[in-house]
Amino acid sequence: MTTSATPRTALVTGGTSGIGLAVVKTLAARGLRVFLCARSRENVDAVVKELRDQGLQVAGCEGDVRSRESVERVVRAAVDRFGPLSVLVNNAGRSGGGVTARIPDELWYDVIDTNLNSAFLVTREALTTGGLERAGVDGRIISIASTGGKQGVPLGAPYSASKAGLIGFTKALAKELAPTGVTVNAVCPGYVETPMAVRVRQAYAATWDTTEEDVLSRFNDKIPLGRYSTPEEVAALVGHLAGDEAGSITAQALNVCGGLGIY
């Protein structure tokens, strides 16, 4: 899948659960050397051990993508372990919202820091220290955005704002890097069954004064296919975008949403 004789190196943020973990597994199964990070050292160590036991080339370290110093340390560790980066997946993210008039400053800023500012910090470091700006046609930057960044989520203004910003960042950077051969795309999941999805349903249940089961039913009713997507379905698109076969796809925000989003 690579134009180089040496296996490519990928960095995946938020790689210990949900979509991030599925992406790590997908890329490693395609022969990439994958370095992951997450805020919990215990979770990183457990995932790395599990995947190494399966014969996959995976390593990782603890890191907080909201911190420039932490990001520098993570990218340096990835390069020291596996060599220059060819693929970056900005996956780390969080939910967050509520009635906008009552959203505290701290929640707004943390959602933006985690979902948007982190992508800038990690991407900048990956391009420079990570060597990704020199990866040429092997280079891929893929960010996990959301259909909520295209059409808005009621009671989710911080989340929608952060993901809309991530899509804009993706398109601008894609045009900037196009002459180098590095492609830049966003993957936009809709409802995906992950630990974060459970927390989202709990939050809506509290706001609407109903049950989590009722929230799930309402959400499923909005999806044309009638079900949540799986992390593996999202990761499959990431795997495709990381491959040679997607070399002409750039500046796109592609949905994986069961028909929920139509643009």
The catalytic position among 159, 191, 204, 228 is 159
What are the pLDDT digits (tens) for 104-116? 999 999 999 999 9
pLDDT band at 5 (very low <50, low <70, confident <90, very high): low
Mean pLDDT of the 253-262 span: 95
Beta bridge partners of 188: 255
Using CA atoms, how far apart are residues 152 and 141, in angstroms rounded to an integer?
Answer: 24
What mean pLDDT is predicted for residues 215-219?
92
Half-sphere exposure of 241 (CA within 13 A, CB side): 30
109 is catalytic: no
SS3 assignment, position 218: helix
CA distance 13 to 71: 10
Integer Cα distance of 47 and 251 in angstroms:
31
As a whole number, mean pLDDT of residues 209-217 equals 93
pLDDT at 3 over 80: no
Q: pLDDT tens digits, residue range 227-255?
A: 999 999 999 999 999 999 999 999 999 99
What is the pLDDT at residue 2? 44
- pLDDT, one tens digit per residue, over 22-41 is 999 999 999 999 999 999 99
Domains of the chain from N-terminus onward: 9-190+230-254 (3.40.50.720), 192-228 (no CATH)
The predicted model gives 67-87 an average pLDDT of: 98
The least confident of 35-44, 177-186, 203-212 is 203-212
Q: Mean pLDDT over residues 198-206, rounded?
A: 89
Q: How does pLDDT run across 144-158, given as a tens digit for each residue?
A: 999 999 999 999 999
Give the per-residue pLDDT at 91.
Answer: 98
Averaged pLDDT for residues 197-218? 91
Quote the tokens at residue 33: 């050397």
Distance CA 32, CA 26 (A): 9
Give the N- to C-terminal CA distance of the chain in Å, as an integer. Answer: 29
Cβ(142)–Cβ(120) below 8 Å: no
